Amino acid sequence: MKLRSKHLLGLEGMTKEEITLILDTAEPFKEILERPIRIVPTLRGVTVVNLFYEPSTRTRISFELAEKRLSAEVISFSATTSSVKKGETLKDTVRNIEAMKIDMVVVRHQCSGVPYFLTQCLDSSIINAGDGAHEHPTQALLDLFTIREKYKKIRGLKVVIVGDIKYSRVARSDIWGFTTMGAKVAVCGPTTLLPYEIEKMGIEVHHDVDEALEGADVVNVLRIQLERQKGGFLPSLREYTNKFGINVDRLKRLNENFTIMHPGPINRGVEITPEVADGPYSVILNQVTNGVAIRMAVLYLLSGGEGKVE
Ligand code: CP
């Protein structure tokens, strides 16, 4: 089986079979990453450009490692050290880069829709590494992989996403991904940080975190985007922590063998306490490890790869 598109713009519209294909393909790649020599020739001769217009630690390094583990040629572009600083437009920038003969572009941008825009002006395969508040598909895929790895299933699990849902591309991709895979998804946050009519995505909506956590298997704690605090979305960070912060006391409401996730970066002591973030039920670093295998699978499949790798 192959993916239907040569681009990965989001999980919206992706079928359960396609998501399963990516998760299944990531499994042998994870095994390769655990070997003493963690490199395979799968993408030899393929040139990938990592085009980052926004800061990133996890996604950027994870994609770079995934590309290098697959033997691709890797070019890393940072807007802050490029001719973007001299006023060059996005379209001119990417067309010039493509004129140097490349095959794939991994893009992170502060504006929603930029990955789609690139599909309209380039022939390369485009992978969304996070666009504005729209989607962050590889984050959701690594979240799904991490949960499937632990529970051996996704269907029927109750997944609660807590925090700034409105501006979170992770929340949107996780909602599409987990609902497509049959999980029961609930979101919880202050009214000002919940999108209007979000329940139409087929999920539960809560304003009381203790109520939301009742009987949950997985809690995905989102970063409070401190850069938005001047927008007046929250009365104060202390109030947010009191009302929505995930602490040890709140974990009592969860199902046995529950899981704590966070896409990072963490604001310790704001949306999550250090005891929970570093506790025995946290899979935060497993998520990061799995991100490399998921990105290897995505790069392999989008470059025309088929089914599982052996
Ligand atoms: N999860 C995530 O996207 O982290 P970075 O911003 O560090 O890439």
The whole-number pLDDT of residue 310 equals 44
Stretch 243-269: mean pLDDT, rounded? 97
Q: CA 168, CA 165: separation in Å to the nearest integer? A: 5
Per-residue confidence at 227, pLDDT binned at 50, 70, 90? Answer: confident
Stretch 1-16: mean pLDDT, rounded? 96
Cα-to-centroid distance, 65 and ligand 1 (Å): 14
Cα-to-centroid distance, 288 and ligand 1 (Å): 9
The percentage of residues in the chain with a pLDDT greater than 90, rounded to a whole number, is 92
Cα-to-centroid distance, 61 and ligand 1 (Å): 9
- Phi/psi region, residue 220 (left: phi>0; alpha: psi -120 to 50; beta: rest), is beta
Helices (H), the chain: 16-33, 58-69, 90-99, 114-121, 137-151, 169-180, 209-213, 237-244, 274-277, 284-302
Give the SS3 label for residue 184. Answer: strand
The whole-number pLDDT of residue 178 equals 98
Per-residue confidence at 231, pLDDT binned at 50, 70, 90? Answer: confident
Helices (H), 34-84: 58-69
Per-residue confidence at 287, pLDDT binned at 50, 70, 90? Answer: very high
Q: What is the pLDDT of residues 190-225, one digit of tens each?
A: 999 999 999 999 999 999 999 999 999 999 999 998
Predicted confidence (pLDDT) at residue 176 exceeds the cutoff of 70: yes
Give the nearest ligand 1 atom to 55 CA: 6
Q: CA 227, CA 231: separation in Å to the nearest integer? A: 9
Cα-to-centroid distance, 112 and ligand 1 (Å): 16
Stretch 128-134: mean pLDDT, rounded? 97
Q: What is the pLDDT of residues 19-52, one digit of tens each?
A: 999 999 999 999 999 999 999 999 999 999 999 9
Cα-to-centroid distance, 51 and ligand 1 (Å): 14
The whole-number pLDDT of residue 228 equals 67
The whole-number pLDDT of residue 170 equals 98
Which residues lie closer than 8 Å to 282 by C-beta, 6 or more apart? Answer: 260, 261, 262, 276
Residue with CA nearest ligand 1 atom 3: 59
The whole-number pLDDT of residue 308 equals 62
Residue with CA nearest ligand 1 atom 5: 56
Give the nearest ligand 1 atom to 129 CA: 3
Mutate to test the pocket of ligand 1, among 50, 56, 138 (most ligand atoms within 8 A of CB): 56
Helix or strand run (H / E) with residue 188: strand 184-188
Q: CA 19, CA 1: separation in Å to the nearest integer? A: 12
Mutate to test the pocket of ligand 1, among 54, 58, 139 (most ligand atoms within 8 A of CB): 58
Cα-to-centroid distance, 286 and ligand 1 (Å): 14
**pLDDT averaged over every residue in the chain:** 95
Predicted confidence (pLDDT) at residue 162 exceeds the cutoff of 80: yes
Residues lining ligand 1, judged by CB closer than 6 Å?
56-60, 130, 136, 139, 263-265
Stretch 100-123: mean pLDDT, rounded? 98
Q: CA 188, CA 207: separation in Å to the nearest integer? A: 5
